[in-house]
Amino acid sequence: MAEKSYYEILGVAKTAADDEIKKAYRQLAIKHHPDKNQGDKASEAKFKEATEAYEVLRDPQKRKAYDQFGKAGLNANGGGAGFGQGAYTDFSDIFGDFGDIFGDFFGGGGRGRERKGSSRRGSDLRYNLEINLEDAALGKEFKIEIPRAETCQDCKGSGSAKGSSSSTCSDCGGSGQVRRTQGFFSIATTCGKCEGRGTVIANPCKTCGGDGLVEKKRTINIKIPPGVESGSRLKVSGEGEAGPNAGPHGDLYVVTHIRKHPIFERQGNDLIITKKIPLSMACLGGEIEIPTIEGKNVSMKIPEGTESGQVFRLKGNGISYLGSYGKGDQHVIIKIEIPKKLSKRQRELMQEFARESDDAVSGSTKSKTFK
């Protein structure tokens, strides 16, 4: 079997740009890293193979020599050493941009991470609010109740009982993480003794059990502005969960979901309604009452000769534009009702109408052939 090229190993084309090569290696390195696949010799081999390929293709001179002469060109230029044979001089280029990714996978603390023992912002919360179409069109204020973590008032968020305090963890020295080195990797993992806090609580608070946080229900007034849609997110600052060690609250995001309306159909900021009219009105014209989303009726004229499916527009009777001025329109689709049964007199009149129109209908004294 022919040996795979470095491009095949990384799964990229020979014309791949540097960013594309780096991205491909990043995915393979995360997937096959030895710490993530302990004891898996196949994954370890793929990791070494991918790293060797990346080491060559990331360097313009090595890549050029490889493209022209293959691995022989690398050996001739002193760049063909295999994985672990001293060819790797600057791994910061390979993994410098991936600190956060590796930290997520291996429990490490990438650059810029805060340890758990520090005071930091609490988590954001999401609340799904189901509303009527009228509420979305006109706006409405709701009262909602949310369970959330709040700072324990007995220990003020420290987790320690009154009169006692926490001490620095002896295993991690207060960092909340312990590091171990394997090859050229330095992997940070959460400290098992303090569970990432950086401190050890000898006498936990009885109210919160040492967490520094307690769950409580909070009632909040939410004002839904006119024009929201299903999936609209309304941010309420500072109404999320409290942070560890008396940290500030996160935010609350209220996501609206609009119930299906029995009469109106919404299309953007426009409203669609279907209105039935009798056959006589379609022929002779007239005036009808049309319901609106605001709950009142408006008059609309039906001209003579209106056809089924014809659409009339009521300007400005739609839904408000969110955070802006103006409204959409209301569109009225006309549907002509055909009577199922006719009285004797109605039938006679319809037959007379058919004769006058020269229509071919059952029961008429005159017929017309349509081609």
Q: 48: Cβ–Cβ under 8 A, 6 or more apart, which residues?
A: 83, 84
Final residue belonging to a domain, choices 258, 275, 305: 258
Q: Is residue 369 part of a domain?
A: no
Count of domains observed in the chain:
3
The boundaries of the domain holding residue 78 are 6-106
Q: Is residue 282 located within the same domain as residue 308?
A: yes
HSE of 82 in the Cβ direction (CA atoms, 13 Å)? 4
Nearest of 177, 181, 197, 200 to residue 189 by alpha carbon? 177
Q: Bridge-partner residues for 179, per DSSP?
A: 188
pLDDT at 260: 95
Q: Is residue 112 part of a domain?
A: no
Q: Is residue 275 located within the same domain as residue 248?
A: no
pLDDT at 323: 81
Asked if pLDDT for residue 96 goes beyond 50, the answer is no
pLDDT at 130: 95
Q: Is residue 99 located within the same domain as residue 191?
A: no
Q: Is residue 24 located within the same domain as residue 73?
A: yes
How far apart are the C-alpha atoms of 314 and 290, rounded to whole Å?
A: 10
Q: What is the mean pLDDT of the chain?
A: 81
Q: Please indicate, yes or no, whether the overall pTM of this predicted structure exceeds 0.75.
A: no
pLDDT at 360: 62
pLDDT band at 70 (very low <50, low <70, confident <90, very high): confident
Q: What is the CATH number of the domain that holds 283?
A: 2.60.260.20
Q: Is residue 245 part of a domain?
A: yes
pLDDT band at 1 (very low <50, low <70, confident <90, very high): low
Q: What is the CATH number of the domain that holds 174?
A: 2.10.230.10
Q: 231: Cβ–Cβ under 8 A, 6 or more apart, which residues?
A: 255, 256, 257
Q: Which of 3-7, 92-96, 167-171, 311-315 has the highest mean pLDDT?
A: 311-315
Final residue belonging to a domain, choices 233, 258, 283: 258
Q: Is residue 206 located within the same domain as residue 153?
A: yes
Q: In three state form, how does the secondary structure of the chain look?
A: CCCCCHHHHHCCCCCCCHHHHHHHHHHHHHHHCCCCCCCCHHHHHHHHHHHHHHHHHCCHHHHHHHHHHCHHHHHHCCCCCCCCCCCCCCCHHHHHHHHHHHHHHHCCCCCCCCCCCCCCCCCCEEEEEEECHHHHHHCEEEEEEEEEEEECCCCCCCCECCCCCEEECCCCCCCCEEEEEECCEEEEEECCCCCCCCEEECCECCCCCCCCEEEEEEEEEEEECCCCCCCCEEEECCCCCCEHHHECCCCEEEEEEECCCCCCEEECCEEEEEEEEEHHHHHHCEEEEEECCCCCEEEEEECCCCCCCCEEEECCCCCECCCCCCECCEEEEEEEECCCCCCHHHHHHHHHHHHHHCCCCCCCCCCCCCC
Q: Is residue 281 located within the same domain as residue 250?
A: no
Q: Is residue 134 located within the same domain as residue 26?
A: no
> Which position has the higher pLDDT, 43 or 224?
224
Q: Is residue 235 part of a domain?
A: yes
Nearest of 239, 234, 59 to residue 149 by alpha carbon? 239
- Least confident among 109-118, 141-150, 216-225, 231-240: 109-118
Phi (first) and psi of residue 186, to 5 degrees: -120, 105
Asked if pLDDT for residue 330 goes beyond 50, the answer is yes
Q: Is residue 131 located within the same domain as residue 254?
A: yes
Q: What is the CATH number of the domain that holds 49?
A: 1.10.287.110
Q: Is residue 71 part of a domain?
A: yes
Nearest of 38, 62, 42 to residue 50 by alpha carbon? 42
Q: Find the mean pLDDT for residues 159-165.
A: 82
Q: Is residue 16 part of a domain?
A: yes
Q: Is residue 224 located within the same domain as residue 154?
A: yes
Q: Is residue 137 located within the same domain as residue 158?
A: yes
Q: Is residue 148 located within the same domain as residue 202?
A: yes
Q: Is residue 133 part of a domain?
A: yes
Final residue belonging to a domain, choices 200, 225, 258: 258
Q: Find the mean pLDDT for residues 322-343.
A: 91
pLDDT band at 80 (very low <50, low <70, confident <90, very high): very low
Q: Rounded to the nearest 10 degrees, what angle do helices 18-32 and 99-106 cross at?
A: 10
Q: Is residue 253 located within the same domain as residue 175?
A: yes
Q: Is residue 198 part of a domain?
A: yes
pLDDT in tens, 102-118: 444 444 444 334 444 45
pLDDT at 87: 35
